[in-house]
Structure 1
Amino acid sequence: MDAIAHWLHEVFLEPSVTQTIIILSFVSAVGLLLGKVRIGSISLGITFVFFVGILASHFGIETDPVMLSFAQNFGLVVFVYALGLQVGPAFFPSLKKGGIAQNLISLGMVAITFLLCIILYFVLGISMPNLMGIVAGATTNTPALGAAQTTLQQIDPSAANEMTQMALACAVTYPMGVVGVIIALAMLKVFMHKKEEQEEKEAPKTFFSEYEVCNPALDGKTVRDVAHLIQRPFIITRVWHRGTVEIPTSDMILHLGDHVLAVSGEEDTTQLEILFGKREEKDWNRPDIDWNSVDKQLVSRRLVITRSKLNGVRLGNLKIRNLYGVNISRVDRAGVELLPDRDLHLQLGDRLTVVGEGNAVERVAEILGDEVKQLDNPHLTTLFGGLFLGCIFGLIPFYLPGVSMPIKLGLAGGPIIVGILMGAFGPRFHLTTYVTNSANLFLRQLGIILYLGGLGLASGANFFDTIIHGDGFLWVGVGFLITMLPTLLIGWISIKVLRNRYDGTAGMICGSTANPMALDYVNGQVKGDGASVVYATVYPLAMFVRIIMAQIMILVFR
Structure 2
Amino acid sequence: MELFSASPLMSVFLVVALGAVLGSIPLGSLRLGAAGALFVGLVVGYFVPELGAQLALIQQLGLALFVYCVGLSAGQTFFSDIKSQYKLMLSSLIALLAAVAVTIVGGAFLGLKTQLSVGVFAGSLTTTPALAAATDITGNNTPAVGYSLGYPAGVVVGLIMVALFVSRQWPGKNDTPALSGQSLRAVTAVADKDINVREVPGWQEQKIRMSYLRSGDTTRVVAPGQILQKSDEVVVVGLPEDVERAVKAIGSRLHENLADDRSIVQFRSFIVSRPVFAGKTIAELSLASRFGAVATRIRRGDMEILAGDDKTVEVGDRLFVAFPREEELGIADYFGNSPTRVAQVDAVALGLGITMGVLLGMVSFSLPGGSTFSLGSAAGPLVVGMILGYLQRSGPLVWQLPQGTNLTLRQLGLLLFLAAVGITSGPAFMKTAPTPLGARAIILGVGVAIVTLLVMGLAGKLLGLSAPRSAGAMAGILGQPALLTFAQSRVFDERIEAGYVTIFALGIVLKIVLVSIILMF
TM class by shorter-chain length?
0.7 to 0.9
Instruction: Tell me how far 1:258 sits from its aligned partner.
Output: 5.2
Instruction: Tell me how far 1:215 sits from its aligned partner.
Output: 8.9
Matched, 1:85 2:72: yes
Distance change (3 Å), C-alpha of 1:429 and 1:152: farther
Q: Name the stretch that deviates more: 431-440 or 539-548.
A: 431-440
Which one-letter code corresponds to 1:50 in the other structure? Answer: L
Which one-letter code corresponds to 2:57 in the other structure? Answer: F
Structure 2: gaps spanning 5 or more residues: 172-177
Distance change (3 Å), C-alpha of 1:40 and 1:29: same
Matched, 1:48 2:9: no
Q: Name the stretch that deviates more: 411-420 or 48-57.
A: 48-57
Instruction: Tell me how far 1:162 sits from its aligned partner.
Output: 1.9
**8 Å contact 2:64–2:377 — kept in the other structure?**
yes
Matched, 1:441 2:407: yes
Matched, 1:301 2:301: no
| 1:358 pairs with one of 283, 300, 325 | 325
Which one-letter code corresponds to 1:548 in the other structure? Answer: V
Deviations 1:225-278 (A, max 9, x none): 869x997446543445458653122364444675655567899889x96xx992
Query: What is the aligned partner in structure 2 of residue 461 from structure 1?
Result: 427
Instruction: Tell me how far 1:544 sits from its aligned partner.
Output: 0.6
Q: How does 1:363-382 map to 2 (within 5 A)?
A: 363-382=330-349
Instruction: Tell me how far 1:429 sits from its aligned partner.
Output: 2.8
Distance change (3 Å), C-alpha of 1:251 and 1:521: closer
Query: What is the aligned partner in structure 1 of residue 100 from structure 2?
Result: 118
Q: Name the stretch that deviates more: 206-215 or 386-395.
A: 206-215
Distance change (3 Å), C-alpha of 1:399 and 1:299: farther
Distance change (3 Å), C-alpha of 1:300 and 1:512: farther
Which one-letter code corresponds to 2:165 in the other structure? Answer: L
Instruction: Tell me how far 1:397 sits from its aligned partner.
Output: 3.7
Distance change (3 Å), C-alpha of 1:78 and 1:364: same
Q: How does 1:167-186 map to 2 (within 5 A)?
A: 167-182=148-163, 184-185=164-165
| 1:204 pairs with one of 151, 162, 182 | 182
Matched, 1:278 2:258: no
The CA RMSD measured in Å over matched residues stands at 4.3
Matched, 1:387 2:358: no
Instruction: Tell me how far 1:212 sits from its aligned partner.
Output: 7.7
Instruction: Tell me how far 1:115 sits from its aligned partner.
Output: 1.9
Instruction: Tell me how far 1:462 sits from its aligned partner.
Output: 3.0
**8 Å contact 2:180–2:303 — kept in the other structure?**
no
Paired with 1:68 and 1:509, the residues of 2 have a C-alpha distance of 28
Matched, 1:163 2:144: yes
Matched, 1:57 2:37: no
**8 Å contact 1:138–1:178 — kept in the other structure?**
no
Distance change (3 Å), C-alpha of 1:462 and 1:490: closer
Structure 1: gaps spanning 5 or more residues: 1-7, 194-199
Paired with 2:323 and 2:511, the residues of 1 have a C-alpha distance of 54
Query: What is the aligned partner in structure 1 of residue 175 from structure 2?
Result: none
Paired with 1:73 and 1:524, the residues of 2 have a C-alpha distance of 24
Three-state SS of the structure 1 residue aligned to 2:398 is: coil
Q: Name the stretch that deviates more: 257-266 or 444-453.
A: 257-266
Paired with 1:138 and 1:383, the residues of 2 have a C-alpha distance of 31
Q: How does 1:145-544 map to 2 (within 5 A)?
A: 145-156=127-138, 158-182=139-163, 184-185=164-165, 189=168, 192=170, 204=182, 232-233=205-206, 235-242=209-216, 245-250=219-224, 252-255=226-229, 278=249, 292-293=259-260, 297-333=264-300, 340-342=307-309, 344-398=311-365, 404-488=370-454, 491=457, 494=460, 501-503=466-468, 505-506=470-471, 509-510=474-475, 513=478, 529=492, 532-544=493-505
Paired with 1:177 and 1:525, the residues of 2 have a C-alpha distance of 14
Three-state SS of the structure 2 residue aligned to 1:43 is: coil
Paired with 2:278 and 2:37, the residues of 1 have a C-alpha distance of 39
Query: What is the aligned partner in structure 1 of residue 27 from structure 2?
Result: 39
Distance change (3 Å), C-alpha of 1:430 and 1:536: farther
Q: Name the stretch that deviates more: 26-35 or 200-209.
A: 200-209
Instruction: Tell me how far 1:413 sits from its aligned partner.
Output: 0.6
| Percent identity of paired positions between Structure 1 and Structure 2 | 21
Paired with 2:223 and 2:422, the residues of 1 have a C-alpha distance of 61
Paired with 1:22 and 1:347, the residues of 2 have a C-alpha distance of 36
Deviations 1:211-231 (A, max 9, x none): 887898x66xxx6x869x997
Distance change (3 Å), C-alpha of 1:525 and 1:19: closer
Distance change (3 Å), C-alpha of 1:438 and 1:263: closer
Three-state SS of the structure 2 residue aligned to 1:468 is: coil
Paired with 1:515 and 1:68, the residues of 2 have a C-alpha distance of 19
Instruction: Tell me how far 1:553 sits from its aligned partner.
Output: 1.1
Instruction: Tell me how far 1:78 sits from its aligned partner.
Output: 2.0
Distance change (3 Å), C-alpha of 1:292 and 1:23: same
Instruction: Tell me how far 1:325 sits from its aligned partner.
Output: 1.7
Residues paired across the two proteins, number: 509
Instruction: Tell me how far 1:100 sits from its aligned partner.
Output: 5.5
Paired with 2:317 and 2:117, the residues of 1 have a C-alpha distance of 43
Q: Name the stretch that deviates more: 172-181 or 481-490.
A: 481-490
Matched, 1:553 2:514: yes
User: Going by fraction, where is strand more abundant, 1 or 2?
Assistant: 2
Deviations 1:183-235 (A, max 9, x none): x338x84x746xxxxxx99673978788887898x66xxx6x869x9974465
Query: What is the aligned partner in structure 2 of residue 5 from structure 1?
Result: none
Three-state SS of the structure 1 residue aligned to 2:434 is: helix
Paired with 1:304 and 1:414, the residues of 2 have a C-alpha distance of 32
Instruction: Tell me how far 1:306 sits from its aligned partner.
Output: 0.8
Distance change (3 Å), C-alpha of 1:258 and 1:132: farther
Three-state SS of the structure 2 residue aligned to 1:249 is: coil
Paired with 1:42 and 1:84, the residues of 2 have a C-alpha distance of 27
**8 Å contact 2:470–2:496 — kept in the other structure?**
no
Query: What is the aligned partner in structure 2 of residue 197 from structure 1?
Result: none
Deviations 1:67-121 (A, max 9, x none): 322222222222212222333455546x3xxx754x4564355334312122223
Paired with 2:414 and 2:278, the residues of 1 have a C-alpha distance of 30
Instruction: Tell me how far 1:418 sits from its aligned partner.
Output: 1.4
